[in-house]
Amino acid sequence: MNFFENFWDIFWWFFTIYAFFGYMYALFAIIGDIFRDHALNGWLKAIWLFALVFIPFLTVLVYLIARGNGMTQRSMENARQRQAAGEAYIRSVATSGPTSSPSDEISKAKALLDDGTITATEFAAIKAKVAV
């Protein structure tokens, strides 16, 4: 066997695997977009899915050409909604934390001082911070 014959076999194998995973990614992105699109009724969704099963490669190309811009817009809107939900969750968690009184904070700091975890200067800094 010649090195270049093996090289092109390996190259072709990698290209085939890359194309297969690229196709699978596009297929699942399209299926997700079909179900995310509220403008399509159930029959049109069924027709697209039927075509994806029985004429897969051609249907993927037609879908990307015909509905690619809408797919991008729906994906961006979904990302915006997820980001807003994440930020709202972070705000709710950050503001609804347990509130403790200054005396509770000072007693916790005193316990840390007694255990030797913090120094007297750190204890005084915590007291001054809580008192403000």
Same domain, 112 and 57: no
Domain range for 119:
99-132
Q: Cβ–Cβ contacts within 10 Å for residue 56, how many?
A: 12
Same domain, 111 and 70: no
Same domain, 129 and 87: no
In 3D space, the residue among 63, 22, 21 whose CA is nearest the CA of residue 45 turns out to be: 63
Q: Give me the residue label for tokens 């991008």.
A: 72
Same domain, 64 and 126: no
Per-residue pLDDT tens over the stretch 109-129: 889 889 888 998 988 988 888
Q: Give me the residue label for tokens 């050409």.
A: 65
Please enumerate in sequence order all residues whose Cβ is within 8 A of that of 30, keeping only pairs 6 or more positions apart, or say none.
48, 52, 60, 63, 64, 71
The domain tally of the chain equals: 2
Q: For the chain, what percent of residues have pLDDT higher than 70?
A: 92
Same domain, 67 and 125: no
Per-residue pLDDT tens over the stretch 13-30: 999 999 999 999 999 999
